[in-house]
Amino acid sequence: MREAMASNIRATRRASIELADTIQSAKDAAAGLNKRVGRFEIYSFLKSIYRVYMRWKDRGDARRSARLLAQELSISRRKATSPIRVLIDATFPGGDLRQKSRWVRALEYLASRDVPTHEFKRFIRANGGLAGCARLAAERSRKRRRPGGDWSD
């Protein structure tokens, strides 16, 4: 019994170390984001988030990895919270909730279209920027209806 518990603890520690290594590039991009000023500076941060998410998705454990990361960093989440949202909350805890929602929807749209990471900026710009991609995601699959519309840009 003790051996099973010890093995489980070792596996959990190993998983948390792997998660920390995985999101380090996104944390570095978020730190750089706070130092720079510019309209398009967010792209490097979101590209690193997208890259991590696509790695998780390719391995087939995006939900499990997001759940472990949320537990590790004490991020509150609902059952249907997107792994992309967990990654954004883990690496960029401050910020406007509405803006984060827009980023998540835009990245979900990219993931649904299977955009490779090297095409990230080109695809976003071709589809009306981050707000345009978020709008396309909302048109494609609504999460809920709002009386006044989704976003008023």
Q: Long-range contact list for 87-90, CB < 8 A, 24+ apart?
A: 87/23, 87/26, 87/49, 87/52, 87/53, 88/49, 90/23, 90/26
CB atoms inside a 10 Å sphere around CB 16 = 15
Domain locations in the chain?
A: 2-140
pLDDT for 32 equals 63
Q: The pTM is what?
A: 0.77
Write down the pLDDT at residue 11.
Answer: 46
Statement: residue 9 has pLDDT above 50: no
pLDDT at 131: 92
Whole-number mean pLDDT of the chain? 80
How many percent of the chain have pLDDT more than 70? 67
User: pLDDT digits over 85-114, tens only?
Assistant: 999 998 888 878 898 999 999 999 999 999
pLDDT digits (tens, 9 = 90+) for 19-46: 666 667 666 666 666 665 566 778 988 9
Q: Give tens-digit pLDDT for 38-91.
A: 667 789 889 999 999 999 999 998 998 888 888 888 888 777 889 999 999 988
